[in-house]
Structure 1
């Protein structure tokens, strides 16, 4: 039994600007972390936007199979985005004051510095509550939904990082999923000592099929949005040899779906591309298990839980050589990296995987399974328990 297992349970308040039913990496991380902490006996409270404007209050919700208290703050839909909701900033501070005086948490863990996280950090710091912050946000990723002109976008990015700086300086510890993401955060703020802590997953929840494939299927899992650059994958498919008979499954939904469906039609590959829309966890895992290659062209991943899920499913990975993806994909071992945006190079990498002998393909599968072990969720939980108690500071 570890030292943290023998200590008294904590009352932990998670501040999330995105949470269930949203589907994205930050929400999934907060859900898994919260559920894992409940399993370890902690009293977990989550602050999240309401599912609809009329909803405001505290509710017992089942998240990742575990019951916890979720405090839903009244929020409004951001219509340029397909699902994003936000709490009115001038109300968030009042909500935070009331909640903190009632819940009295031992520690606050904010998952962003935007509205909910900002309000909880400011009011928590006033009360001397320990604050841990995890950054999942790049202001650059929000630009597609701002409807701002180019000059205003540059000012928005500068303002966004300055706002992050002001909030993160209130935290006793700041984490982000990878070393590269930590370096990126330190370059854009005055914060130093940012700790890379993997989002983590439980690999045993996924099934790897190590038998030879009878069909060639590419799969992508994630939000169907602009920064994921799914169009690059679509443009690569016509470049593949016809005898490979490659099909492509896009698991997820988003504002770019209709545009990408039209692009597939224009490229003449509609009969080989499937857009599943939103699916259940069981369906998602089945798509991963049955695929041949996981392909991701995104240029804005701070870690990519979807890529880790594919690795836990025993898939070779073909990924853009951008942001944190090289932390997961070791070129020539469990997959290949291609220059971001280069559909010709992407097609070449896919071909290299699909032309392998069964023995070489199996070697890549096993390499993915081995590489994902360091991202076990229990390691992540151990680290955050230490951060919550201040034990990592002492060391």
Structure 2
């Protein structure tokens, strides 16, 4: 069988970020070929991303960079390419332009179509773009709201939400069949991992793209009142500002920046920490929270403005106000109380067992099998 994937970014970007997860695009190895439709200036050799397709053969079809008017000008090219591939299923990982093209081709060629949602574009992206005066991003996102999102979501034979928070958004935009399948994190990798770092003090870990909405500056400020190291993994437009902030506050020696860690090594970094913290403003459950649960770390997460009861977090740690003072207080409490850390860590592993990667992989494979 053949799967055609619109991944939402170039495969080169995923490779450079270290985000190559085993069988991510080929659950239970049910496909023989996986074809990626990308829109990049330059792509990577398919062999370098072999891990994400498991036993399948990977192909990358790079159709060149997108512009807003590509919505109308690239449709014929996309359709022609997918006709050549002749896939059994089409999958998109965003309802933006990539999702629109996937839905358009699926409809024209009568091919089963699955789309996944990794956020609520109304209550996450557009809300914060407007609130934080990011007018360019808000205009681009509003363009997608008007021209791509409803069409992509309502056209899908199955909508997969990466957590419960986007379910409401999916249904408001016409989703017919909605399934929640959490991001795949595998117990085996964390069970076998050894600490990747040798540190002279206990550590707090935070993993995520360095953007204003993920708010890592809050943790750096919290470190003024925490006697520990902060392992900060991620890259993005805020990197320079965060490095400068750590220097300005006099905590530069406490903060360890890692722009990228390969996915196969990430478990060792979690194992180097005692606490996981995430001051994210978005709703839902981020992949790093699931990874922290797999590692048996207690979690301290901010209460999102539009999702006051984030999944799992209150059961395996603390949900707090998104301030440096609140983070410092709970981090210090956990660092001082080993029994509390162990208790919450056990709860995290128990909760993680319910959504472990192999279970989610089987659930995703079942979606495909039902469609073909």
Regarding TM over 0.5, the answer is yes
1:62 aligns with 2:50: yes
- Alpha carbons 1:46, 1:70 under 8 Å: kept: yes
CA shift for structure 1 position 30: 8.0
For residues 324 and 63 of structure 1, the distance between their equivalents in structure 2, rounded to whole angstroms, comes to 37
Partner Cα separation in structure 2 for residue 27 and residue 152 of structure 1: 28
For the Cα contact (< 8 Å) 2:204–2:274, is it kept in 1?
yes
Q: Alpha-carbon deviation of 1:301?
A: 4.9
Query: Residue by residue, what CA displacement relative to the aligned partner does 1:210-263 show, whole Å, maximum 9, x if unpaired?
Result: 9xx9832011112112211001111112133xxxx2111111222111100111
SS in 1 for 2:310: helix
Contact 1:61 1:68 in 2 (8 A): no
Q: Normalised by the size of structure 2, how large is the TM-score?
A: 0.83
Aligned residue among 170, 188, 202 for 2:186? 202
From the superposition, tell whether residues 138 and 232 of structure 1 become closer, same or farther in structure 2 (CA, over 3 Å): same
Return the match for 1:226 from 194, 199, 212: 212
CA distance in 2, matches of 1:30, 1:126: 31
- After superposition, residues 16-95 of structure 1 pair within 5 angstroms as 16-18=7-9, 20-23=11-14, 28=19, 32-38=23-29, 41-49=30-38, 52-53=41-42, 55=43, 61-64=49-52, 66=54, 67-76=56-65, 88-90=70-72, 92-95=74-77
Which residue of the partner structure matches residue 244 of structure 2? 262
Cα separation, 1, equivalents of 2:231 and 2:45: 39
Is the CA contact (8 Å cut-off) linking 1:92 and 1:116 kept in structure 2? no
TM-score by length of structure 1 reads: 0.79
CA distance change for structure 1 residues 35 and 108 in 2, over 3 Å: closer, same or farther? Answer: closer
Alignment of 1:92-171 (within 5 A): 92-139=74-121, 140-141=124-125, 156-162=140-146, 163-171=148-156
Report the CA distance shift for 1:115/1:350 in structure 2 as closer, same or farther (over 3 A): same
- Could you say what secondary structure the match of 2:285 adopts? coil
More moved, 248-257 vs 201-210: 201-210
Distance 1:281 1:336, change over 3 A: same
Partners of 1:365 and 1:385 in 2: CA distance: 30
* Contact 1:229–1:297 (Cα < 8 Å) also in 2: yes
Aligned length in residues = 360
Aligned-pair CA distance for 1:56: 9.6
Partner of 1:83: none
SS at match of 1:235: helix
| Partner of residue 357, structure 2 | 377
Query: What do residues 76-115 of structure 1 show as CA deviations (whole Å, max 9, x unaligned)?
Result: 399xxxxxxx995445423322222122222111111222
1:391 CA displacement: 6.7
Asked if the contact 1:203/1:309 (under 8 Å) is kept, the reply is no
* C-alpha contact 1:20 1:31 (8 A) present in aligned 2: no
Deviations 1:266-299 (A, max 9, x none): 2111111111221233542221111111111111
SS in 2 for 1:72: strand
Deviation string, structure 1 residues 179-232 (Cα, Å, up to 9, x no partner)? 222124334x2435532211222111114679xx98320111121122110011
175-184 vs 148-157, greater mean Cα deviation: 148-157
Check the 8 A contact 2:153/2:174 in 1, yes or no. no
Structure 1 SS opposite 2:203: strand
RMSD of the alignment, in Å? 3.6
